[in-house]
Amino acid sequence: MSIYDFKVKNAEGEMIAMENYRGKLLLIVNTATHCGFTPQYEALQSLYEKYQSQGFEILDFPCNQFANQAPESESEIQSFCSLKYKTTFPLFAKVEVNGKNEEPLFAYLKKHSKAFLNSDIKWNFTKFLVSREGKVIDRYAPMTKPEKIEKDIIKNL
């Protein structure tokens, strides 16, 4: 099994094959609109604008699993992010990232993150960098600012 075997629901409720992202460098993030880390959206958008033309994609998965910090609907989240942070990267449906209802994609990402070996996601804005070949390169803690990941993005583009 690889990351390309998964299908995920976008913010409009359509199933999207991860296969569509084959050959792209991905940063997959579980996000929230009412979190102390929410301002990271600004730096994420900056990275996206800088590197998207080189095959870099950010996939935004809102998660209300941590202290109910993403209570809105997907359309409200989309509006909030695009108005406040001018985000243009893809927004997906809200997911759970831990537990019996966790999104299978996140189970896969956790399982294949060498440094963390299957450990639960602790909070919003945990980030996974995935190679163009679909391999998990690294997992970054919520407090890791997106600009600190830039060197790894450049190295893997």
In the predicted model, is pLDDT for residue 133 greater than 80?
yes
In the predicted model, is pLDDT for residue 149 greater than 70?
yes
User: What is the tens place of the pLDDT at every residue in 37-57?
Assistant: 999 999 999 999 999 999 999
Q: Mind telling me the catalytic residues?
A: 35
For the residues 127-131, what does the mean pLDDT come to?
Answer: 97
In the predicted model, is pLDDT for residue 1 greater than 90?
no
Angle at which helices 146-156 and 40-51 cross, to 10°: 20
Rounded CA separation 39/56 (Å): 21
For the residues 88-117, what does the mean pLDDT come to?
Answer: 91
Specify whether domain 3-156 bears CATH 2.30.29.30: no
Domain boundaries, the chain: 3-156
Residue with tokens 């993005």: 153
